[in-house]
Chains A and B, each alone.
Chain A
Amino acid sequence: MKKLPIELTINGRAHELLVSPKETLLNVLRERFHLTGAKYGCGIGECGACTVLLDGLPVLSCQLLAVMCNGKKVVTIEGLSPQEAAAHPMQDSFVEEGAVQCGFCTPGMVISATALVEEKSEPTTEDIKVALRGNLCRCTGYENIIRAVKTGARKMKEV
């Protein structure tokens, strides 16, 4: 199959690459850039473990063909923090509030939570539940995740 040239900015760095028309954004991130923070959990957009930011909005990278992302900016969990040496406040909050158990859903969950707070700086519990309903977690029961998002929102204001 003929490969197509695309441009992608991934975690602040511009890349030019050739992709096959059926390659997903998740495949490109995991297999070509070894950015394995975004996970393959279901492959059909049900679990949210593959969530990344595309031009600032949370998307399911397993449901997007790489060619559809041509010219866009992708941020993964590895590039979420603006400072290389420090974690993003939302990442810190997830640790502090005990929102991490097995950790497999965590990158997608943190990305969705960060996108929510970028849009709405003081989200209510209901806002958080709605924003995270597409990110499944089988370990925590969500209680600590919801608290972590609130703590993260406070911290993001302080920064």
Chain B
Amino acid sequence: MEKQNFNIIGTRADGCDEKDKVLGNVVYAEDYIMPDTLYCKVFRSAKASAMIKKLNIDKAKALDGVSCVLTHEDVPNNESAKNVVGQTTEVGLLEAKQRILATDRVRYYGEPIVVVAAETPELARDALELIEIEYEELPGVFDPEEAMKPDAPKIHGDNNVIANWALRKGDVEKAFAESDVVVEAEYRTPRQEHAHMEPESGLAWVDDMGVINIRYSTQVVEHYRDVAAVLGIPESRVRTIGTIIGGGFGGKEDLTVEVFLALCSWNTKRPVKMAFSREEMGFGRQKRHPYVLRYKTGATKDGKLTAMQAELISDSGAYVMLSPWVLLYSTVHSTGPYFIPNVKVDAYSVLTNNIMTSAFRGFGGMQVAFAYESQMDALAIKLNMDPVELRKKNFFKRGDETANFQSIPSEVMLDEAVEKAVEALGPKSEPSGKNMRVGRGFACSWQSYGRMTYLHDTASSWVGLEMDGSAVVRCGIPDLGGGQRESIRAIAAELLGIPLDEVHVISTDSQVTPLAGTVTATRALFMSGNATKLAAENVREVILEKAADMLETAAEDLDIENKMVYSSRQTDKKVELVKVIRRCAAEGISIQSLDTYKAAFTDEIKTNVIKDPVYNDWTFGTQAVEVEVDTETGKVNVLKHVSVQDVGRAINIKRTEGQMEGGAAQGLGFALMEDYLEVDGVPITWNLTEYLVPTSKDIPDSNSIILESRSGKGPFGAKGIGEPSITAAAPAVANAIRDAVGIKVLHLPATPERVFWELQKKHQS
């Protein structure tokens, strides 16, 4: 008896967490303090590739007020930290595993070498100054294509290529020969910084039962397992308590502060606190992978796609982290949301001495979207065909087979999405000056939600009613700011007929809340939403059965609303929820439930050619923009933006629109201004005056249009929207610039400088 009529789901209801946030009441990771706390700081490499010839920590140790100075020798299992949690399959080459603290060699600028804890942050910083180090520089490699050459310096082991995935479908050679048109281009994408507003931060302490507690900002509460492995203690003696996260976007998915905090706290038996500085967030932490993408796409003169061939090369920096998975996403998503009969893709992730790269909203889906949607517009120009019509001839339909031979399990509403997006741009703007040109572009995308199916993803949640009819939900899902907790609060409140503010959600405590997995991969609503729905439905069923007894009617006719159980057939049959709860208690019937949702499970991928299903489902959408290009300076202004996404079902309309707008803003930053730059592995964009993110002045009027196919695998037919919201923004901008001034945008970000030089080239030719 799935509930169908909703009072909370699909509305714009305010969330409880949001009210606490505007009042300044939320205690974020760095806001928490304990008596007798020490402050932790990390000493990091000032070379991108070097041997450590000498390391002397004696003076730092001797400084008054310094409690501990730890090197790799003090880390029980320095090499045992897994790069990726929660999976059953090893990723990448074992020898490229990350060390907690460098041993004899550093492989990127910013690699941690020593960790210090002292009475004040100032003293900790002073201690870092007293550490003496001598390096012997090693030849480094900073270009992934150089790093692929046989004689390139090796970062680890004997091969810098740490992942290789491929797609093979049909015969591309034959298909290109038979195509009426073929377009070919090489694209490049930047190294994007997450730039979440909250630095990585937290506090750790060893409690009176010998358990190490780490209260910190993380997307992965399951990192307690990594901490236990590093310290060499049972997992049951490490407790991670996740805070409300001040932004993450994938940046708080890998290990951040937890191991440093645990090491110092374990050694000193005192509370230890740390927060990365903004500069440290820049050079000490992973970014989005820069890609080189070489695409060749063919079509018939009628606009049917015939073949696609691509080579993808990603710079994975000095350690593996999540690079092989990101590359897998890129590979599967490289075709775009199109049925293409012949596909050949070869993808490589390559180690360099650059800063590490790993998860970032979009997870490999964004780089390929820039390429495949630029290719579609190039084809439309060559075919002299409307780019909307060209795409409509090729969109996947439900049940179509992807290039990894997986059937599309849900509705594909791209015809509607592209029509609405283009229409919603409205009348074309007039240029604001004589050197200005206005252009329009759009792009369509697909992006999976949920983890890869060979990881056998599960999520658990616990729902219990209290005697007064309020409810508690315990669910391990962290809240990344997208309102993940509010979604499960809404689901429980809806199914139990309770007001939102009477449902308390406890999230993200590894020893209190049932584990629900990570807040990554656009899986939070899908997985923890389904788990909470299962548990709440179990409780609902108990209540309805008991109420049916009490009212002498059938449970199927009953519903709960505003803490009243009532019959939809006979209006006089109703009973207060509290009375039913008391009856259950009197009879010893449990009104609590723990349940687990299991996603689709598939076998492990055994070959580098992907021939089997990898994902649960996809979200499809379109973004359209209008831009104005200053032909004198090359500056591009986005005047209007529209995003249309089929979210399956919007659990909360306001928060869904929030994801669509926020994702688009990050995508526009990626398109036009964001680039974390390094010269020979040394960062030159240290902070937010050099690494520019969009401000209120950079963002256009935006219109978010929600489509609801109700065909997704999430609760009530929902799909995911966190990552799909970002994917199509950059190619929409690139296509609009081409429309405005006739230049190809092959290299992101499309900075004024790049656009200016392309315009010069065009004038000369």
Contact = CB atoms under 8 A, between A and B. Distances in A.
Given A139-B481, A141-B702, 7 more contacts: A39-B198, A41-B198, A87-B23, A101-B658, A106-B22, A136-B195, A143-B699
B693 A141 contact: no
Nearest to B31: A36
A129 B275 CA distance: 30
Contacts, number: 166
A36 B27 CA distance: 8
B33 to A, nearest CB: 8
B19 interface: yes
A140 interface: yes
Interface of A: 30, 34-44, 46-47, 49, 76-78, 87, 91-92, 94-98, 100-107, 110, 128-130, 132-146
B514 interface: no
Contacts of B26: 103
A104 B22 contact: no
A66 to B, nearest CB: 15
B664 interface: yes
Interface in B650-695: 654-655, 657-658, 661-666, 687-689, 693-695
B319 interface: no
A139 B693 contact: no
B697 A129 contact: yes
B28 interface: yes
Contact of B199 (A41, A46, A76, A91): A41
Contacts of B665: 140-142
Interface of B: 12, 14, 17-28, 30-31, 33, 194-199, 244-247, 249, 275, 277-278, 480-483, 654-655, 657-658, 661-666, 687-689, 693-697, 699, 701-702
A65 B483 CA distance: 36
Contacts of B661: 140-141, 143-144
Nearest to B201: A40
Contacts of B689: 44, 46
B18 A103 contact: yes
Nearest to B19: A95
B696 A102 contact: no
A141 B660 CA distance: 9
Nearest to B196: A138
A102 B199 contact: no
A101 B481 contact: yes
B23 A91 contact: yes
A145 B21 CA distance: 14
Contacts of B198: 39, 41, 102, 104
A44 B279 CA distance: 10
A95 B486 CA distance: 13
A129 B696 CA distance: 5
Given A42-B688, A102-B196, A107 B24 contact: yes
A87 B20 CA distance: 10
20 contacts: A30-B31, A46-B687, A46-B689, A47-B278, A76-B24, A95-B14, A100-B18, A102-B197, A102-B247, A102-B480, A106-B22, A107-B24, A136-B197, A136-B688, A138-B194, A138-B666, A139-B662, A141-B665, A141-B699, A144-B661
B640 to A, nearest CB: 12
Contacts of B482: 101, 139
Contacts of B199: 40-41
B13 to A, nearest CB: 11
A77 B23 contact: yes
A103 B654 contact: no
B253 to A, nearest CB: 15
Contacts of A107: 22, 24
B159 to A, nearest CB: 36
A73 to B, nearest CB: 18
A80 B296 CA distance: 58
B474 to A, nearest CB: 22
B658 A140 contact: yes
A103 B30 contact: no
Contacts of A143: 661, 699, 701-702
B14 A96 contact: yes
A106 B247 contact: no
Contacts of A91: 22-23
